[in-house]
Amino acid sequence: MSNSATKGFGKFYSDFKRFLPLLTNLVSKDFKIKYRRSFLGVAWSVLNPLLTMIVLTNVFQLLLRVRTEQDFASYYIVGASLWSFFSEATNASLSSILGASSLIKKVYIPKYVFPLEKCLFSLVNFAFSLIAVFAVIVVRSISTGEAMLSWYSLLFPIPVLYCFVFVCGMTLLLSSITVYFRDVAHLYGVFLTMWIYLTPILYPISLVEDHRFISLIVKLNPMTHYVEAFRKVMMCGGFPTLRENLICIGAALFTFLVGALVFKKAQSKFILHI
């Protein structure tokens, strides 16, 4: 490792350690703001995926007759919980730098703290939503007589970690681009809508296998692999293969490196655009 790279990593580590209390305070602040004046409070993070699951299960399974190899309710809520983490973090990151402009102009703070904080805050919300995920799997296992949970379910943090690294890269990339091009904040919502339909949340991958072009896009979609890996450990009693793990790790590291490089190059001129 070169001296410049060593110094760069050393500065990153010292800055991260120094501003870790600020990072935790920002997460705590966002948490309090989100649930302030909310009657249900944190319970909404559990009820929201449950209520959405009930509605969509009735629409897609009973009306549209979409069939999956596993129980549809469990299939949906497992995939949707990880997608919600990704969606919430990336959406929030769009304004993370712009929203902190007054603070950035006054004191020195590593700017990556702000998009990273959005990732951590969304991860906390995801942790609460897991209560709903496990509850649905247990209830559906009892009602269908098919045991879905196994000791492999204890390994769920591994695919979540892969997804977290991927999300961090996306937030760094999106937050830096939005500073220069504000329209990204509006266009991303449309892009995200298209992205969710190209991720097997509401349907199995087998449903698009006959459509070669769409199937290719779905399989090239990193979120497809994170969702499928998460489902495999949570409800299929297995663990992703070596190939599947390498795909998840490769996509996560590539996205993180691209996001970090773009962010590092762009951050020096943030002050001129915020």
Give the model's pLDDT for residue 3: 57
- For residue 101, name the pLDDT band (cuts at 50, 70, 90): confident
Give the model's pLDDT for residue 7: 57
Give the model's pLDDT for residue 8: 54
pLDDT digits (tens, 9 = 90+) for 62-92: 776 777 777 888 899 999 999 999 999 999 9
- For residue 240, name the pLDDT band (cuts at 50, 70, 90): very high
pLDDT digits (tens, 9 = 90+) for 121-151: 999 999 999 999 999 999 888 887 777 888 8
Burial 164-176 (b: 16+ CB within 10 A, else e): bbbbbbbbbbbbb
A 10 A CB-CB count for 196 gives 15
On the CB side of 93, CA atoms within 13 Å amount to 31
Extract the tokens encoding 238. Answer: 């297995």
Give the model's pLDDT for residue 68: 76
Where along the chain do its domains lie?
Answer: 18-273
User: Chain-wide mean pLDDT for the chain?
Assistant: 87
Measured between alpha carbons, how far is 138 from 24 in angstroms, rounded to an integer?
Answer: 33
Q: Specify whether the CB–CB gap between 235 and 70 falls below 8 A.
A: yes
Give the model's pLDDT for residue 107: 81
Q: Specify whether the CB–CB gap between 79 and 230 falls below 8 A.
A: yes
pLDDT digits (tens, 9 = 90+) for 9-61: 566 667 777 878 888 888 888 888 877 766 666 777 788 888 888 888 878 77
Q: Which whole number is the average pLDDT over 240-268?
A: 94
The DSSP H or E segment spanning 165 is helix 157-180
